[in-house]
Amino acid sequence: MNIGIIGLGLIGASLAGAFNSKTSHAVFGYDLDEKTIKKALKLGFIDKVLDNDLLTECDIVVLALYPKDVVKFVLKNRDSFKRGAIVVDCAGVKRSVCEEIWANTKDNNFTFVGGHPMAGRQFSGIDYASPTLFNKASMILVPEENTECPKVLAELFEQIGCYITITTKEEHDAMIAYTSQLAHVVSNAYVKSPASEKHKGFSAGSYMDLTRVAYLNPDMWTELFLENADNLTNEIDFLIDNLVKINKAIKERDADTIRQLLKEGADIKKRVDM
């Protein structure tokens, strides 16, 4: 089977390396940056540079691009994909991506499945890519409504260490607002305290856990936040409400309320992680 990957940053290059090292499939890759392509070849992540001719021979095409770029690429190349090909993206939002693509490719002979590998690092780019990035990671797949997820696609990601989570575009965006996007908002806001300048010698695991994802790509995360603004702002409002409650209790030196609020959070954490 021929696999094409567009975008060889952290996610795309890691997928390429995983497919090449853990399967027998041919892996072709393309990136706008020539140095990135050369490094992908040198590392053995890709077998060949993906061009327009090879695109027509790919059985599966993986798009490791920003959401709007995913849509642009698919619509631009919808007549070039191999008949019966499966196209899957890796973007962090699904409603805006899937809706536009499905609405505009009904007459084409390929299948688009929304995708989102739940793996990453605080740094971006091929320099931080690893073929083991997806070990024991969830690969979220979003097939079009009233269709089944292609078995060959799920099996491909299982081969590189993923487990599969099938969902809808609506559930994906609602959950990702909480599990991923809100964490980046909180980390970014937290690290802006003037105290962060003097944290060395006073910080350990808690600080590192909460600030890790403050390292982010501002362009990408701005797009992700805006494409999921309704879900994300709901989560931010809910968080603010809880922060206000504990802030009020601390200011009023209300030990009973503080203790109860902390117990509620601890109990929820224990329950949801069982």
- pLDDT for the residue 146: 85
Q: Which residues lie below 8 Å from residue 177, measured CB to CB, with a gap of 6+?
A: 228, 231, 232, 234, 235
Mean pLDDT of 80-105: 97
- Report d(CA 263, CA 257) in Å as an integer: 10
- pLDDT for the residue 215: 87
> Which among 32, 28, 89, 39 has a CA at the least distance from the CA of 63?
89
If you average pLDDT over every residue of the chain, what do you get? 96
Helices assigned H by DSSP within the chain: 10-22, 34-42, 52-55, 67-77, 95-104, 151-159, 169-176, 182-190, 205-211, 218-227, 229-251, 255-272
Q: Are strands 48-49 and 86-89 parallel, antiparallel or unpaired?
A: unpaired
The predicted-structure confidence for 124-156, as pLDDT tens digits, reads as follows: 899 999 999 999 999 999 999 989 999 999 999
**pLDDT higher than 90, residue 122:** no
pLDDT category, 123, cuts 50, 70, 90?
confident
The predicted-structure confidence for 254-268, as pLDDT tens digits, reads as follows: 999 999 999 999 999
Task: Quote the distance between the C-alpha of residue 103 and its chain's center.
Answer: 23
Mean pLDDT of 27-49: 97
- pLDDT for the residue 120: 82
- pLDDT for the residue 274: 79
Same CATH fold assignment for domains 2-167 and 172-272: no
**pLDDT higher than 80, residue 67:** yes
- pLDDT for the residue 124: 83
- pLDDT for the residue 79: 95
The predicted-structure confidence for 151-161, as pLDDT tens digits, reads as follows: 999 999 999 99
Mean pLDDT of 206-226: 93
CATH class of 172-272: mainly alpha
CATH class of 2-167: alpha beta
The predicted-structure confidence for 149-201, as pLDDT tens digits, reads as follows: 999 999 999 999 999 999 999 999 999 999 999 999 999 999 999 999 999 99
Domain locations in the chain? 2-167, 172-272
Instruction: Return the percentage of the chain with pLDDT > 70, whole number.
Output: 100
